[in-house]
């Protein structure tokens, strides 16, 4: 039996292969960015991967920090710290994803905001972080009652984080895989 993490690894590999021919269509907000084939950080775009094996659904989100908290540097002001806390709470909410065909229960949500906030009392010295392209990652583990009957997943990320203009989704089940781009007008991922 393949572990869900193996499915995610396979999904990420296939997303790299599928994205390669489309890399010429990428754009950036600055001439300082590398050539499109080398880009991984585009404002307004986030990536979501879903892997379903049996009754276990793993979901992974990767997004530039600016899409989630409104900035990309270390949070030092009270306003920025509150923005990080609010975004963290939103990303850990059980209703971030809705399901049809099978009931799925959130078992674990892991949100990594370390690129924009001090973790565990560690302090950053200098201003190097201000010019970086910070990423936010979140991983979710769901247990579905009948995974084989799961039909759709609604991703409520764009409504919660309007700076995400498009959500590039790759999904994988034991029998098929697919890709879709979600927008504010369409948040439904149909896996069956």
Reported pTM = 0.76
- Separation CA 21–CA 37 (nearest Å): 9
Question: Which pLDDT belongs to residue 41?
Answer: 59
Question: Which pLDDT belongs to residue 18?
Answer: 40
DSSP conformational letter for 55: T
Residue 75 CB contacts under 8 Å (≥ 6 apart), including other chains? 69, 81, 83, 84, 116, 117
Question: What does the pLDDT profile of the chain (192 residues) look like in tens digits?
Answer: 445 445 444 444 444 334 433 333 333 333 333 333 334 557 899 999 999 999 999 999 999 999 999 998 899 899 999 999 999 999 998 789 999 999 999 999 999 999 998 755 444 444 444 446 789 999 999 999 999 999 999 999 999 999 999 999 999 999 999 999 999 999 999 998
- Separation CA 93–CA 89 (nearest Å): 6
Q: Give tens-digit pLDDT for 116-142.
A: 987 554 444 444 444 467 899 999 999
Calculate what percentage of the chain has a pLDDT beyond 70: 71
């Amino acid at each position: 039996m393949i572990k869900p993490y193996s499915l995610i690894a396979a999904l990420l590999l296939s997303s790299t292969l599928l994205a390669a021919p489309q890399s010429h269509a990428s754009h950036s907000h600055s001439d300082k960015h590398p050539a499109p084939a080398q880009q991984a950080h585009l404002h307004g775009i986030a990536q979501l991967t879903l892997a379903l094996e049996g009754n276990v659904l793993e979901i992974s989100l990767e997004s530039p920090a600016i899409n989630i908290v409104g900035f990309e540097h270390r949070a030092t002001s009270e306003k920025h710290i509150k923005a990080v806390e609010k975004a963290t709470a939103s990303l850990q909410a059980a209703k971030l994803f809705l399901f049809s065909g099978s009931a799925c229960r959130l078992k674990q949500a892991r949100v990594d905001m370390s690129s924009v906030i001090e973790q565990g009392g560690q302090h950053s010295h200098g201003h190097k972080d201000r010019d970086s392209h910070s990423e936010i990652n979140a991983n979710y583990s769901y247990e579905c009652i009948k995974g084989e009957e799961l039909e759709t997943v609604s991703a409520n990320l764009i409504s919660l984080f309007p700076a995400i203009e498009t959500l590039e989704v790759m999904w994988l089940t034991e029998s098929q895989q697919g890709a879709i781009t979600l927008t504010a007008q369409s948040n439904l991922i149909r896996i069956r």
